[in-house]
Structure 1
Amino acid sequence: RYIHARDRGMMLIQTDGACLSNGLPQPRAGIAYVYAPPNPLRPLEDGVSESLLDPADATNNRAEMLAVITAIRARIWWGEGFHTIVFATDSEYVVKGCTEWCRAWERRGWKNSRGQPVKNRDLWEELVWNIEWTRHRGCEVSFWQIPREWNGKADAAAKIAA
């Protein structure tokens, strides 16, 4: 697992979403999260990738969000001794949405700064709920926007899943 060298209760999870033919008819989306370096002896224990089946909802932003939602719900992280989960993603949409925009959207009744309904509100509400649920159990959730080239394993897995 990607565990902090000086704090065994802090873990890093890389996430990514991919949508092939984003914005076109019949898009295909996939998600991935990676929480351990590759291990040839246990290849299925370092992360998860899966396809998103409904093309009507398949966009890159939705896939990016679903990758985090799936990862946060995958395990009882606090029950495994973690007090902090850091989600590393190359998605500015997810990082800024979770760290800057969501609270303002909630205060404005899920309207953006122009008074328009927030896109992907269903997933934003689900993501916020899961973050708060995890925090209430003693495990902080934070986000780190990383360069795309640092997210190669999750990116490749999400594309294969799509």
Structure 2
Amino acid sequence: MTLVAAADGSALGNPGPAGWAWYVDDDRWASGGWPHGTNNMGELTAVLDLLQQTADLDDDLVVYCDSTYAINAITKWMAGWKRKGWKKGDGKPVANVEIMKALDAAMRPNVTFRWVKGHAGHELNEKADELANAAARAHQAGSSPAAGPGFSSRRSSHDFSVTAPPEPDPDLFSLVDELSDEDQVVALERSLLTDEVRSDPAAVAALLDAAWSEVGRSGRVWTRSEILGEIGPLTSPVELDVLGVDRVAEGVLLLRWRGTSAAGEGTLRSSLWVRSGGRWLQRFHQGTPEG
């Protein structure tokens, strides 16, 4: 037998009132959260609670997540972090380390993760998202979220707290500070084309200036809040070919590049990056179809 579930997290403000939830069907689901947490905490804790509550089942477990951060952290990065004493490649502590340690203890060989695009009509994902958001809003209102029927009476409070501010995927930029300014900007621009970043609004937000805007390939003008609400993995990979990086002023770089889709469609793009608080942030982006 195979048990299929979805796990999701939500944060209002990130960090802010936060929730987590997993859902199998109307008789088997659970949710919880914190008055102050992050989206990534919610994503990870939803998986953790599902693993803990199904620990005594013999069924194979398939878990749908819309966060590649959660999937990669558990299936790709966790073993290396553990070998390094729960440190990242740059030697810094792993964010949400207590949750990661609990996940390491709870994981088992018959668990498989599958990525699903959020807010795209996947029934289980939509239910998990709805429950996680409801949990976050309950904490925002000062009340306790519905715990759900779950699978067992052995419930944990999952009383985790924010141990680090929201950041891009943990190992993605561990060496970026060793690069030149120009190479840093190119690396960060490339990261905005990856599923790992585009699947995590918090990771995208960490790369965009507060006053960010874009004139898209279609001519549409996007605001920061609009793009964070709609961004997701690309439908097909895009190859980035650097045309030039110009230093417009101190702490301001203009990156010009060509994006080529798998179908060979080309777009000329320019991105204005500004250095703020010791970090490079994208301030403006524009795309023009190549003639």
Q: TM-score, normalised by structure 1?
A: 0.75
Partner of 2:113: 143
Number of positions where the alignment pairs a residue of Structure 1 with one of Structure 2: 132
Partner of 2:180: none
Instruction: Work out the CA distance in 1 between the residues paired with 2:70 and 2:42.
Output: 10
1:69-88 to 2 correspondences below 5 Å = 69-78=48-57, 81-82=58-59, 84-88=60-64
Of 106, 115, 120, the match for 2:91: 115
Quote the offset at 1:130 in angstroms. Answer: 0.7
Code of the residue aligned with 2:116 in structure 1: it is I
Quote the offset at 1:76 in angstroms. Answer: 4.4
Quote the offset at 1:53 in angstroms. Answer: 3.0
Partner of 2:6: 14
- Unaligned stretches of 5+ residues in structure 1: 1-8, 37-42
1:95 aligns with 2:74: no
Of 50, 53, 73, the match for 2:34: 53
Instruction: Work out the CA distance in 1 between the residues paired with 2:80 and 2:9.
Output: 25
Instruction: Work out the CA distance in 1 between the residues paired with 2:101 and 2:76.
Output: 14
Partner of 1:129: 105
Percent identical across equivalent pairs?
30
Partner of 2:128: 154
Q: TM-score, normalised by structure 2?
A: 0.43
Instruction: Work out the CA distance in 2 between the residues paired with 1:106 and 1:15.
Output: 24
After superposition, the Cα gap between the structure-2 partners of 1:47 and 1:161, relative to the gap in structure 1 and judged at 3 Å, is same
Instruction: Work out the CA distance in 2 between the residues paired with 1:53 and 1:144.
Output: 26
More helix by share: 1
Partner of 1:39: none
- Unaligned stretches of 5+ residues in structure 2: 137-291
After superposition, the Cα gap between the structure-2 partners of 1:111 and 1:123, relative to the gap in structure 1 and judged at 3 Å, is same
More strand by share: 2
Partner of 1:65: 44
After superposition, the Cα gap between the structure-2 partners of 1:106 and 1:20, relative to the gap in structure 1 and judged at 3 Å, is same
Q: Residues 14-68 of structure 1: CA distance to partner in whole angstroms, max 9, x if unpaired?
A: 0001011113xxx1111111112xxxxxx4x142222x2342xx11101111111
3-state DSSP class of the match of 2:94? coil
Instruction: Work out the CA distance in 2 between the residues paired with 1:61 and 1:76.
Output: 23
Partner of 1:28: 17
Code of the residue aligned with 1:87 in structure 2: it is V
Structure 1: 4+ residue segments shifted above 6 A: none
